[in-house]
Amino acid sequence: MQSIKAAVCHAFNAPLVIEDVLLDAPAAGQVEVEIDAVAICHSDISYQQGGFGGHLPAVYGHEAAGRITAIGTGVAAEYAVGDSVCVTLVRSCGHCPSCYSGHLSTCETPRDNTMGPLKTKDGDAVLQAMSCGAFAEKVVVDQSQIVKIPADLGKDVASVISCGVITGVGASVLAANLRVGQDVVVIGAGGVGLNAIQGARIAGARRIVAVDLMDEKLEIAREFGATDAVSAKAAKPWREVKAILGRGADAVLVTVGVAQVYDQAPRYLAPSGNVVMVGMPHGDQLTTFSPLNMADAGQGFIGSKMGNMVIKRDIPWIIDLYKQGRLKLDELISGRWRLDQINEAIADTLGGAAKRNVIIFDR
């Protein structure tokens, strides 16, 4: 057990507190990773706001990269101290029905993250949120959650791969299962939405229409591959989208966690199209839709958690695309902060203009 600095949530909707917490040594099948960079995702903020519930105190943060500093027993021989890795929340047992079918992000083996490796200095349980707890100098995670990456890949770039990039690209390429020539609408042009746009481009979409409230984000969306942009401030933006496409879209990717946006999403669809559910509203928000209209048009909803990515298979191709210049990653990072600035970084993310804010650990 060692003492590390972490940003701890003691009360929902209150600032995180930088303090020392205790971290267990890695148990069987686990690795310890010293974090070099961790990005702020909207899910971290929703947790901090109490929108997803959960035990307190807690350490959030799940979009991270660093280097392995210790290894538990029984860890695969491919991992060694010093290896650079992405750290994700995708913890998978490898032997449940979801894992057997390749859906690692919906692994069905229950786990209690309040019994994880974190404790207060007084020995009380600290929730290792999302199996990561990466707003901290170090994490101890299951070996299923890490992916080896080249040592020369920037850790800031690597951190955003660990959630925002795989969630967005995977939503288009894997969850929506786009075919070349299909038309796509991406609602929300933030960190995940921009990657859904990149994924649609890689998948060979014909038109990619970005929809967002902020004009500057629509401009950025074009830089990431959107062919068209429509302001969500319009009374009925789906009418503008249908005018552009000549019909509805084959896939509508909702990348914002707002229930009213889900209410409207089917309006953008073509017959047989699907709404892909990426953004996660708070747990008390509900949506409504017309089962008659959707069933009659052969439409549906598809859930997409972490882009349905098989991380050890798919993060290497994400890195290849980046190295080949076919996937923008550096441009996703709009701010770099220290751990003791995390509350300012969260406030900046809530302001809506940021793409990804990343906490950098300079040592």
* Cα angle 192, 338, 306; round to 5: 25
Cα separation, 288 vs 281, in Å, equals 14
Backbone φ and ψ for 21, nearest 5 degrees, come out as: -130, 165
Which of residues 4 and 90 has its CB atom nearest to Zn ion in the complex? 90
Strand bridging mode 249-254 / 269-277: parallel
Tokens, residue 74: 């029984």
Binds Zn ion (CB under 5 A): choice among 4, 33, 37, 41: 41
Interaction between residue 213 and Zn ion (CB under 5 A): no
CB of 41 to Zn ion, least distance (A): 3
Cα separation, 304 vs 330, in Å, equals 25
Which of residues 62 and 207 has its CB atom nearest to Zn ion in the complex? 62
Q: How many residues bind Zn ion (CB under 5 A)?
A: 9
CB of 309 to Zn ion, least distance (A): 12
Interaction between residue 96 and Zn ion (CB under 5 A): yes
Interaction between residue 145 and Zn ion (CB under 5 A): no
CB of 103 to Zn ion, least distance (A): 9
Q: Which among 97, 16, 98, 10 is positioned nearest to 56, based on CA atoms?
A: 10
Interaction between residue 163 and Zn ion (CB under 5 A): yes
Per DSSP, what are the bridge partners of residue 128? 59
Tokens, residue 249: 């879209």
Judge contact between 59 and 118, C-beta under 8 A: yes
Q: Which among 24, 92, 29, 15 is positioned nearest to 60, based on CA atoms?
A: 15
Interaction between residue 43 and Zn ion (CB under 5 A): yes
Binding mask 100-129 for Zn ion (x = CB under 5 A): -------x-x--------------------
CB of 105 to Zn ion, least distance (A): 10
Which of residues 7 and 99 has its CB atom nearest to Zn ion in the complex? 99
Which of residues 163 and 205 has its CB atom nearest to Zn ion in the complex? 163
Binds Zn ion (CB under 5 A): choice among 18, 93, 294, 302: 93
Which of residues 22 and 276 has its CB atom nearest to Zn ion in the complex? 276
Strand bridging mode 2-8 / 17-23: antiparallel
CB of 219 to Zn ion, least distance (A): 24
CB of 270 to Zn ion, least distance (A): 29
CB of 110 to Zn ion, least distance (A): 10
Per DSSP, what are the bridge partners of residue 228? 209
Q: What is the DSSP string of 228-257?
A: EEEETTSSSHHHHHHHHHSS-EEEEEE-S-
Cα separation, 274 vs 289, in Å, equals 13
Which of residues 162 and 227 has its CB atom nearest to Zn ion in the complex? 162
Which of residues 47 and 224 has its CB atom nearest to Zn ion in the complex? 47
CB of 99 to Zn ion, least distance (A): 3
Which of residues 99 and 147 has its CB atom nearest to Zn ion in the complex? 99
Which of residues 188 and 248 has its CB atom nearest to Zn ion in the complex? 188
Q: How far is CA 197 from CA 104, 173, 204, 359, in A?
A: 23, 10, 11, 25
Using the rule CB under 5 A, give the single segment among 9-17, 39-47, 210-218, 260-268 that binds Zn ion.
Answer: 39-47
Cα separation, 334 vs 331, in Å, equals 7
* Contact residues for Zn ion, defined by CB under 5 A: 41, 43, 92-93, 96, 99, 107, 109, 163
